[in-house]
């Protein structure tokens, strides 16, 4: 458990991907196989069943630490994390015992049929032999609160680095309905798996943002122009009768899109397509938020499939009849896509349409219609270009539209995590409606460290109310919020949801009375033709 607690601390205190990868790799090379399999489970959302509610943990902590509940709540509001609060308030142990992570998870599982008195005794006994860091992790396991900035993709890469494996092999192996209680690390990760090669995608070709003048690109006729779709970049693979769907982040997502698996049944063996997975209906792309409703679900209902139907918008063919054709020019690879479109008519397979313009100036005018097409701009691909690996300059460029912006007033603030745990860095922004401020977005990125400290000081000096880790703040600061899209949302008080909100700049030049209104925000729907 000490080793896992140390890993948890290193991950929580670093914001560098390279440091997190090294910490994970080191852990997987040192930990026991039983602890490794549980670590994989915890970081890939296969968490043990909760045996104790958080209210009981608070009460028992107060009893052990001889604290009144009001003082516990004050401490919790200051710290902002329940597990950290409890672990800091409990008395220090003079002697501890280093049981394994596997031991403690099985210890919790054994509490399932115990009554409250027995559960309390079990928890207090555990607290007596764990040190502060171990208690912190132990409570995290109980509550399921693993917010430490480690994605499944990062864990996959770390395991691959540790054992000299392909990342795609590891990703493929940790997918599926495996049970950490009955699966061992050796059989899951290190044993041979003949389907690895079948499922393996090609490295994605990524484009740089357009920074050149159009005159440097030459004749527009030498370029293939497509809409830059706002979905999930992916590869659709059909080999030896099996279909696999990979995201650009090298996550195997086959189970998330059954309609694309059905599409794969009709694809010829030895076909790999590169494209975009989009929510698609009535012959046009649907908002990305609809696609998001499917991504986080383990089991998809018939209602999910009906409300957010998806299509694969194909814009490249990487493998044809089992042959790697990436070195051929895109104008030839495009012919393979056109052939598929004719031979496999399906609402789930669509060929990314080409955009034609007589000049770069004419293309600029079309570029302004991107949002009405539910697109992020254009992709420019030289007609003679091969399909390269990684992010390369020269043959492919992405020409994105500028983000939408609104000036909002900060009304709530919450402390951050990791190295920002002591600072208020998460802000709720609002716009005006009939003299009242209505919240419309949360943002936690875009300010410098110096600006964050300045805002933190303002929050602490202008707090009106406290609700756990959240503070209501006296309106006084205006920020320009940038975001990629906007849509109607009955779940939000403003009736609006924005995508990827972030702080573009602190409007110190603007009083709160001059911030934007809800009417201004709703006016942005016109850009989408709504």
Domain boundary among 94, 126, 143: 143
The tens digit of pLDDT for each residue in 187-209 reads 888 887 656 668 878 888 989 99
Say if residue 45's pLDDT is above 90: no
Percent of the chain at pLDDT exceeding 70: 95
Q: How many domains does the chain have?
A: 3
Residue 193 is assigned to a structural domain of this protein? no
Residue 504 is assigned to a structural domain of this protein? yes
Q: What is the mean pLDDT of residues 133-158?
A: 83
104 phi/psi in degrees, rounded to 5: -70, -35
CATH of the domain at 129: 1.10.3260.10
pLDDT of residue 275: 96
Residue 240 is assigned to a structural domain of this protein? yes
Say if residue 274's pLDDT is above 80: yes
Say if residue 308's pLDDT is above 90: no
pLDDT of residue 190: 87
Write out the DSSP string of 395-445: EEEEEEPPPEEEEEEEEEEEE-SGGGTTSEEEEEEEEEETTEEEEEEEE--
240 and 356 co-located in one domain: yes
Angle at 34 between CA 110 and CA 164, to 5 degrees: 155
Reduced to 3 states (helix: H, G, I; strand: E, B; else coil), residue 230 is coil
223 and 326 co-located in one domain: yes
Say if residue 418's pLDDT is above 60: no
Contact criterion met (CB below 8 Å) for 496 and 440: yes
d(CA 517, CA 513): 10
Q: Which two tokens stand for residue 82?
A: 């329940």
Helix (H) / strand (E) element for 339: namely: helix 330-343
Q: Which residue segment(s) compose the domain that 79 sits in?
A: 2-143
Cα of 148 vs its chain's centroid, Å:
13
Say if residue 515's pLDDT is above 80: yes
Burial level of 358, CB count in 10 A (0-12/13-18/19+)?
exposed
233 and 265 co-located in one domain: yes
Q: What is the mean pLDDT of residues 278-292?
A: 82
Residue 161 is assigned to a structural domain of this protein? no
Q: Which of 87, 88, 62 is nearest to 73 (CA)?
A: 62
517 phi/psi in degrees, rounded to 5: -110, 165
pLDDT of residue 77: 73
Say if residue 392's pLDDT is above 90: no
Say if residue 284's pLDDT is above 70: yes
pLDDT of residue 233: 94
Model confidence band, residue 150 (pLDDT cutoffs 50, 70, 90): confident
pLDDT of residue 166: 84
Pick the more confident residue, 338 or 290.
338
d(CA 520, CA 433): 10
Pick the more confident residue, 42 or 94.
42
Taking all residues of the chain, what is their mean pLDDT, rounded to a whole number? 88
Say if residue 141's pLDDT is above 60: yes
Say if residue 507's pLDDT is above 60: yes
pLDDT of residue 334: 96
518 and 413 co-located in one domain: yes
Q: Which of 128, 66, 63 is nearest to 94 (CA)?
A: 128
Say if residue 320's pLDDT is above 90: yes
CATH of the domain at 431: 2.40.50.140
Contact criterion met (CB below 8 Å) for 359 and 343: no
- Spatial CB neighbours of 18, under 8 Å, sequence gap ≥ 6: none
Say if residue 530's pLDDT is above 60: no
CATH of the domain at 355: 3.30.470.30
345 and 410 co-located in one domain: no
394 and 410 co-located in one domain: no
Whether the model pTM is above 0.75? no
227 and 294 co-located in one domain: yes
Say if residue 148's pLDDT is above 70: no
Residue 165 is assigned to a structural domain of this protein? no
Domain boundary among 94, 124, 143: 143
294 and 394 co-located in one domain: yes
385 and 424 co-located in one domain: no
Query: Which of 12-16, 77-81, 387-391, 521-525 bottoms out in mean pLDDT, i.e. has the lowest?
Result: 77-81
d(CA 231, CA 473): 36
372 and 444 co-located in one domain: no
Percent of the chain at pLDDT exceeding 90: 52
Residue 488 is assigned to a structural domain of this protein? yes
């Amino acid at each position: 458990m000490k080793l896992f607690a140390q890993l948890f601390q290193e991950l929580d205190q670093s914001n560098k991907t390279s440091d997190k990868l090294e910490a994970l790799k080191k852990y997987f090379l040192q930990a026991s196989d039983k602890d490794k399999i549980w670590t994989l489970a915890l970081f890939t959302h296969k968490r043990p069943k909760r045996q104790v509610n958080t209210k009981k943990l608070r009460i028992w902590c107060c009893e052990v630490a001889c604290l009144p509940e009001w003082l516990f709540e004050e401490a919790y509001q200051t710290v902002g994390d329940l597990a950290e609060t409890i672990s800091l308030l409990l008395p220090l142990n003079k002697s501890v015992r280093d049981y394994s992570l596997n031991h403690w998870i099985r210890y919790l599982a054994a509490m399932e049929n115990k009554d409250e008195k027995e559960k309390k005794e079990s928890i207090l006994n555990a607290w007596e032999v764990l040190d502060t860091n171990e208690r912190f992790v132990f409570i995290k396991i109980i509550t399921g609160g693993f917010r430490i900035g480690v994605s499944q993709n990062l864990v996959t890469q770390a395991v691959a680095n540790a054992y000299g494996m392909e990342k795609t092999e590891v990703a493929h192996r940790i997918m599926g309905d495996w049970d950490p209680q009955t699966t061992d690390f050796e059989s899951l990760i290190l044993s041979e798996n003949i389907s690895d090669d079948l499922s393996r995608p090609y490295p994605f070709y990524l484009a740089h943002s357009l920074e050149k003048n159009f005159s440097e690109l030459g004749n527009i006729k030498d370029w293939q122009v497509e809409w830059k779709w706002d979905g999930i970049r992916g590869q659709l693979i059909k080999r030896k009768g099996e279909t696999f769907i990979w995201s650009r982040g090298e996550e195997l997502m086959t189970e998330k899109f059954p309609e694309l698996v059905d599409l794969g049944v009709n694809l010829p063996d030895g076909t790999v397509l590169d494209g975009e997975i989009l929510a698609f209906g009535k012959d046009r792309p649907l908002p990305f938020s609809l696609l998001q409703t499917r991504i986080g679900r383990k089991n998809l209902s018939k209602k999910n499939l009906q409300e957010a139907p998806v299509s694969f918008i194909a814009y490249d063919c990487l493998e044809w009849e089992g042959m790697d054709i990436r070195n051929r020019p895109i104008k030839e690879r495009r012919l393979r896509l056109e052939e598929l479109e004719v031979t496999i008519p399906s609402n789930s397979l669509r060929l990314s349409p080409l955009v034609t313009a007589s000049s770069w100036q004419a293309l600029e005018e079309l570029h302004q219609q991107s949002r009405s097409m539910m697109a992020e701009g254009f992709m420019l691909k030289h007609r003679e270009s091969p399909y390269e690996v990684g992010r390369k300059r020269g043959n492919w460029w992405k020409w994105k539209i500028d983000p939408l912006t609104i000036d909002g007033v900060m009304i709530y603030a919450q402390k951050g995590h990791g190295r920002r745990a002591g600072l208020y860095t998460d802000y709720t922004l609002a716009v005006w409606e009939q003299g009242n401020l209505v919240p419309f977005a949360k943002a936690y990125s875009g300010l410098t460290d110096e600006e964050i400290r300045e805002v933190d000081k303002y929050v602490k000096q202008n707090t009106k109310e406290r609700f756990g880790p959240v503070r209501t703040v006296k309106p006084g600061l205006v920020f320009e919020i940038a975001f990629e899209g906007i849509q109607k949302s009955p779940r939000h008080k403003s009736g609006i949801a924005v995508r990827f909100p972030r702080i573009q700049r602190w409007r110190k030049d603007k009083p709160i009375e001059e911030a934007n209104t809800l009417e201004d925000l709703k006016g942005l729907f016109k850009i989408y033709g709504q």
